[in-house]
Amino acid sequence: MIDSFRLERVKYVPKELQPRVLYVADEFDIAVHLCACGCGTKVTTPLGPTEWRVSDANGGPTVVPSIGNWQLPCRSHYVITGGKVLWAGQWSEERIKAGRNAEQHRREAYYAARAHDRKWWVRLGKWLRGLFRGGRN
């Protein structure tokens, strides 16, 4: 088992991954590491407002939310915080589904908020155009 990670910022993710290294390729907005259970599987986490976020403080990388490798045979689930791996234990099917739903809600809330912002801009644009029309007439 891997109990700690260090952050390495790279342009491209190397072919041969080292254990205990969390590679962040900013250009592609992904982080890649070898599964912390030691099974050797490459785990890719997309980074973004609705995906994973990586910060580097307190002696090592912190990745949120937790990393659940449900699709892998090992089904490992852990949190990387301050470079340390904390095991979250095995989740039941229901818990996994609930987690997925929570993720889905988070995404929907994010895009709804953005759509709301856009509507606000559209309204502002209309109002401004109205002003100019009014001015000319």
Region from 32-40, 51-59, 77-85, 86-94 binding Zn ion, contact rule CB under 5 A = 32-40
- Asked if 32 touches Zn ion (CB under 5 A), the answer is no
Q: What are the φ/ψ torsions at residue 106 (nearest 5 degrees)?
A: -60, -45
Pairing between strand 84-87 and 60-68? unpaired
Q: Which of 7, 37, 54, 63 binds Zn ion (CB under 5 A)?
A: 37
x-or-dash pattern for Zn ion, window 102-121, by CB under 5 A?
--------------------
**Omega of the bond prior to 65 within 30 degrees of 0, cis?**
yes
For residue 77, give every residue at least 6 positions away whose Cβ sits within 8 Å of its Cβ, in sequence order, or none. 66, 67, 68, 69, 70, 87, 88, 89, 90, 91
- Asked if 45 touches Zn ion (CB under 5 A), the answer is no
- Asked if 74 touches Zn ion (CB under 5 A), the answer is yes
Q: Which residues bind Zn ion (CB under 5 A)?
A: 35, 37, 39, 74, 76
